[in-house]
Amino acid sequence: MCSALRRVPASTGPTSLLARPAPRSPGRSGREREVWADVAKGACIPLVVLWHVVTKHYLRIDWHAWPVPGAWGALTEQLVPLRMPLFFTVSGMFATGAVNRPWRGLLRSKTARWLYLYAVWLLIHTALLAPAPGFGTARARDLGELLGQLTVTPSNLWYLYALALYFPIAKATRRLPGSLVTAAALALSAATAAGVLETPGDRGGVYANLFFFLAGARFRPLIERLVATATTRRLLLTAAAYGTALAATAVAGARTWPGVWPAVCVLATVFGLTAAARVARVEQVEQVAGVARRPWPARALARLGRTTLPVYVLHMPLLALLDLALTGPLSAVARLSTPPAVRVLVAAGEPVVVTALLVGLCLALHRVLLRAGARWLFDLPRRSHPSSR
* Opening angle at CA 365, ends 112 and 145, nearest 5: 50
| Each residue's pLDDT tens digit, 189-223 | 999 999 999 898 899 999 999 999 999 999 999 99
Q: How many CB atoms lie within 10 A of CB 35?
A: 27
Between 169 and 1, whose confidence is greater? 169
* Opening angle at CA 169, ends 109 and 307, nearest 5: 45
R_g of the chain computed on alpha carbons: 21
Domain assignment present for 306: yes
**Dist CA 173 CA 128 (whole Å):** 39
Interval 338-346 mean pLDDT: 83
Give the per-residue pLDDT at 1.
39
| Each residue's pLDDT tens digit, 61-100 | 888 878 999 999 999 999 999 999 999 999 999 998 999 9
Domain assignment present for 9: yes
Domain assignment present for 386: no
DSSP character string of 362-383 = HHHHHHHHHHTT-GGGTS---P
| Each residue's pLDDT tens digit, 165-177 | 999 999 999 999 9
Give the per-residue pLDDT at 388.
43
**Dist CA 70 CA 67 (whole Å):** 5
Give the per-residue pLDDT at 15.
60
Give the per-residue pLDDT at 43.
95
- Chain Cα centroid distance, residue 146: 24
**Dist CA 227 CA 87 (whole Å):** 15
Whether residue 27 has pLDDT greater than 80: no
Domain assignment present for 302: yes
Domain assignment present for 361: yes
Whether residue 44 has pLDDT greater than 80: yes
Give the per-residue pLDDT at 16.
60
The amino acid occupying position 12 is T
Whether residue 3 has pLDDT greater than 60: no
| Letter string b/e over residues 6-29, b meaning 16 or more CB atoms within 10 A of that residue's CB | eebebbeebbbbbbebeeeeeeee
CA distances from 76 to 8, 54, 79, 81 (A): 30, 8, 5, 10
Task: Name the pLDDT band for 244 (thresholds 50, 70, 90).
Answer: very high
Whether residue 104 has pLDDT greater than 80: yes
Domain range for 39:
2-377
Q: How many CB atoms lie within 10 A of CB 117?
A: 25
Tell me the backbone φ, ψ of residue 386, rounded to 5 degrees.
-55, -40
The number of helix segments (H) and strand segments (E) in the chain equals 16, 0
Domain assignment present for 172: yes
**Dist CA 28 CA 3 (whole Å):** 8
Task: Name the pLDDT band for 333 (thresholds 50, 70, 90).
Answer: confident
**Dist CA 218 CA 215 (whole Å):** 5
- Exposed / middle / buried, residue 96 (Cβ in 10 Å: 0-12, 13-18, 19+): middle
| Each residue's pLDDT tens digit, 114-153 | 999 999 999 999 999 988 888 888 888 899 999 999 999 9
Check if the beta carbon of residue 44 is closer than 8 Å to that of residue 307: no
Check if the beta carbon of residue 182 is closer than 8 Å to that of residue 214: yes
Task: Name the pLDDT band for 348 (thresholds 50, 70, 90).
Answer: very high
**Dist CA 98 CA 378 (whole Å):** 19
Residue 386 makes CB contacts below 8 A (sequence gap 6+) with none
Between 35 and 161, whose confidence is greater? 161
**Dist CA 111 CA 106 (whole Å):** 7
Check if the beta carbon of residue 294 is closer than 8 Å to that of residue 279: no
**Dist CA 284 CA 30 (whole Å):** 12
**Dist CA 389 CA 383 (whole Å):** 11
Give the per-residue pLDDT at 339.
81
Task: Name the pLDDT band for 273 (thresholds 50, 70, 90).
Answer: very high
CA distances from 211 to 3, 142, 205, 217, 289 (A): 37, 33, 11, 10, 40
Give the per-residue pLDDT at 18.
53
Report how many domains make up the chain.
1
Check if the beta carbon of residue 164 is closer than 8 Å to that of residue 114: yes
> What is the rounded average pLDDT for all residues in the chain?
87
Q: How many CB atoms lie within 10 A of CB 364?
A: 12
The amino acid occupying position 221 is P
Check if the beta carbon of residue 201 is closer than 8 Å to that of residue 137: no
pTM recorded for the entire structure = 0.87
- Chain Cα centroid distance, residue 143: 29
Task: Tell which phi-psi region holds residue 382, choosing left (phi > 0), alpha (psi between -120 and 50) or beta.
Answer: beta
Domain assignment present for 388: no
Domain assignment present for 166: yes
